[in-house]
Amino acid sequence: MDQHAYKNSDDAMNLATLKFEALIEEYYSKVLYHSISKVRDLHTAEEITQETFLKAFVNMKKLNNENAFGPWIFKICNNEIFQNARNSKKNIMIKGVLNEIDSCKKYGTQISPRIEKLYSALSALNEKHQEIISLKYFCEFSITQIKALSGISENIIKSRLYEARKKLSELIDLKSENSGLHDIFTIRRKLIMDRVKLTQTGAYVFPRLSLKTQFELIKLSRTNGKFSEQALSEIGSIDKGGEFVKLCRGKLTFNEMVLIISYCDEETIKRIKWDESEDNQKLIGELTDALKKCSIDGYIVNRVDVMLKTSDVDKTLEWYEKTLGWKGHRGTIMEDGVCCYGCVTLDEKGPIVSGTREFNGFHISLGGQRGHECGILPMVTVEGLEKLLSRIKKSGWKNVSEIKNEEWGSKTITVKDFNGYEITFMEWPAQIKNPYKDEQ
């Protein structure tokens, strides 16, 4: 089942959650072990592991084969390691582990008294003993794995484990099944699932809010500010709104907001990005950059359109209007008065340029301007054209152009696929992202 096609359904949402929870169960230890082996810092590795799974969740629609999840999750993890591991010479540290209670409380995870008592006992251990307990019980690594990570002999590892357990046994009953020592690993996985639930529920509620309230929540997330009474009233009137407020405690971090928007449908994202309010432009820029980072590919595909190359844009527009009854719109006019870019659509341009629905028609540009014969070419509108060009070059594919500044103001690259067909990728600069802005 395509989780995004039916994500407004409770059954589909629950199924997506259960599937992803099973994937966390299977891969959490493997991803955490891989992260620690690379960054040599437990706290950093924990953060990388959590971000890896959250990024995987919001990008699941890009995974065509669920059986390929293993290699795919490690690809995401390696990207996160590249972004976060700045000092590979750090020793494995326990720092941050003892702050998990605060994280649990934030996302509503229930913490039993025995777990709080366990954390209190762990804080009394020295750094070496905290480290060995964490690797053995929190990460569920074997003695052999700990040896590979730390470079310490098995005898020393066993000795430290004995000493650490002895010290803990003086503070809590380790023999009891209720000691909580084996529950920490479960809590960590639940923390990820709590954030997944917040992202999923938020992505259900957010598109149903007014544009004004959407921007209010985005702005408040910059400072982790509480939702206003007006926003709470609107959220509360929406299905699952009350559940969303309970999950986020009435406020969001910017990272949580980005994850929610990333999981929304493309129309919601486009609606925000095409807002023309001057006060929101800086915020939209920051959000767009964050969304690109949240994408596993480093760039965002807004939509796939068609570019009609022609020797005369105006005559083409006239033909479509007269012959088919479509609406022709002149876009960019050159200094000599010739129209070099426009579009034909099935109805009035208003709903299109406002970003409230998909573009439905053709883009039209002068074919002779780039040496093409007349004809129809596929055109993909993206955010992050430089990242896309870099990715293509790294793949070893040679049939790709450099970035070109077009007459109508956009930037493009052209790629020939293995059949010899050309695909144009286009990115609108922020200041002219809407070529018909002046006509509105």
Q: Work out the average pLDDT over 402-427.
A: 82
Query: Domain 300-439 belongs to what topology?
Result: 2,3-Dihydroxybiphenyl 1,2-Dioxygenase; domain 1 (3.10.180)
> 10-84 maps to which CATH number?
1.10.1740.10
Comparing 19-23, 354-358, 408-412, the range with the smallest average pLDDT is 354-358
Comparing 94-98, 226-230, 287-291, the range with the smallest average pLDDT is 94-98
pLDDT bucket at 174, cuts 50 / 70 / 90: low
pLDDT bucket at 200, cuts 50 / 70 / 90: very high
**How far is it, in rounded angstroms, from Cα 126 to Cα 398?**
56
For the chain, what is the mean pLDDT?
Answer: 76
How far is residue 257 from each of residues 54, 81, 183, 218, 431, measured CA to CA in Å?
A: 13, 22, 29, 7, 25
121 or 103: which leads in pLDDT: 121
**How far is it, in rounded angstroms, from Cα 297 to Cα 425?**
15
323 or 289: which leads in pLDDT: 289
Q: How big, in percent rounded to 5, are the helix, strand and coil portions of the chain?
A: 55, 15, 30
Range among 4-13, 23-32, 136-145 with highest mean pLDDT value: 23-32
Burial 419-435, CB ≥16 within 10 A → b, else e: eeeeebbbbbeeeebbb
Taking only the tens place, the pLDDT of each residue in 21-48 is: 899 988 988 888 888 877 777 778 888 8
Taking only the tens place, the pLDDT of each residue in 81-115 is: 887 754 444 444 444 444 444 555 444 555 556 55
216 or 138: which leads in pLDDT: 216
Query: Are domains 10-84 and 300-439 of this chain identical in fold?
Result: no
**How far is it, in rounded angstroms, from Cα 175 to Cα 97?**
23
293 or 212: which leads in pLDDT: 212
Taking only the tens place, the pLDDT of each residue in 309-344 is: 888 888 888 877 776 677 888 888 888 888 888 887
Domain ranges of the chain: 10-84, 195-294, 300-439
pLDDT bucket at 161, cuts 50 / 70 / 90: confident
Q: Is the pTM of this model over 0.85?
A: no
Q: Kindly tell me if the per-residue pLDDT of 245 is higher than 80.
A: yes
